[in-house]
Amino acid sequence: MPAFSIGSRKALAAATVGFLAMAGGALGAGPVSVEAVSIQRSTDDYSIDVQYARTGIASVDEPMATWARQLVDEFIEQADDDFASFGDDGDRPPWTYSLDLDFEVERNDGEVLAIDFDEGIFTGGAHPNHGIQTYNFLMPDGWQVYLPEIFKTAALKRISELTIADLKRQWGGDSMSDDDWLAGGAGPQWDNFSAFLLLADELVIRFPPYQVAAYAAGPQSVTIPLSELQGLMRKDWRTPVPSFDCAKAGTATEKAICSDVTLARLDRKVAAAYQWKLRYADEAEAKAVRADQRAWLEFRDTCGSSMLCLTASYDDRLKVLSGG
């Protein structure tokens, strides 16, 4: 069970009309004091009700605040663009857009602070889009940690197998998913398990609608006892972990990536984006993507051990792969 949890934030924020409002509300005591920051806005076209966590620890607060505010900015930009395109000729839709974001503190025991966000965005259609974002911080300094940094590579297959087996058990033969769907959404790829919560003796994996089952099935979650992953945890969770085995790093570039956490994380992001691109490409497209990746790797390696050059190279490749 979580050491500390928070109920709905909806009652904490006063209604605000016509402008952005930000206010803190204390949410309870614990090894780390957590409060909710509220961003609200209501117009004729859309409404925003966003809550995100603040602790007073910069390394914890900065990634959550940056992400939440970017979410708000992008939502407002989309809403403004969409409703401007409708014009005033009576073709405007009969609905308003909405953005809702709420969070729960799932662990707060002085060793790990784990925070779970649920996001709902409605921009028309049959139902809102639902998203999940999680943050796990090592305390007391607030070092953000990711699943490939906690577990050895050998754990990935085990986590995937346990997850798929548990989802099938939960559904009991329900037809809202199938083996191919599960293999794609819960197969042995780290990015399939990016929404996770590291509890004291359990690993919780969350999936938004559509990742492993139909929307009607709702968000899915799996709880894996850490005893099932015994011997598969890394000793040092702050060590750089790129997408390749650092024990086999031979070039100056590979050694530089293996010596820097930021570069290692960028390497994992690019590798995940590359795999995602291949997943939805036809044969001809996949051939082109692989060729582009090989060419980029050769270009990346011309950076040698230059951190500045490597960072720029990874940022550029990530934009290309994600269509940015």
- SS3 per-residue string spanning the chain: CCCCCCCCCHHHCCCCCCCCEEEEEECCCCCCCCEEEEEEEECCCEEEEEEEEECCCHHHHHHHHHHHHHHHHHHHHHHHHHHHHHCCCCCCCCCCEEEEEEEEEEEECCCEEEEEEEEEEECCCCCCEEEEEEEEEECCCCEECCHHHHECCHHHHHHHHHHHHHHHHHHCCCCCCCHHHHHHHHCCCHHHHCCEEECCCEEEEEECCCCCCCHHHCCEEEEEEHHHHCCCECCCCCCCCCCCCHHHCCCHHHHHHCCCHHHHHHHHHHHHHHHHHHHCCCHHHHHHHHHHHHHHHHHHHCCCCCHHHHHHHHHHHHHHHHCC
Q: Where are the domains of the chain?
A: 10-141, 148-229, 246-322
- Do 10-141 and 148-229 come out as alike in CATH topology? no
Average confidence (pLDDT) over 243-266: 96
- Which CATH number is 10-141 given? 3.30.565.40
Q: Which residue has the higher pLDDT, 48 or 127?
A: 48
| Cβ within 8 Å of residue 179, ≥6 positions away | none
> pLDDT for 124-140, tens place per residue?
888 899 999 999 999 99
Average confidence (pLDDT) over 33-53: 96
Q: Which residue has the higher pLDDT, 280 or 135?
A: 135
> What topology does CATH give the domain 148-229?
Actin; Chain A, domain 4 (3.90.640)
What is the reported pLDDT for 172? 85
What is the reported pLDDT for 218? 87
> pLDDT for 241-250, tens place per residue?
999 999 999 9
Average pLDDT, the chain: 89
pLDDT at 3 over 70: no
pLDDT band at 65 (very low <50, low <70, confident <90, very high): very high
User: Residue 139's Cα: distance from chain center in Å?
Assistant: 20
> pLDDT for 187-235, tens place per residue?
999 999 999 999 999 999 999 999 999 998 889 999 999 999 999 999 9
What is the reported pLDDT for 165? 95
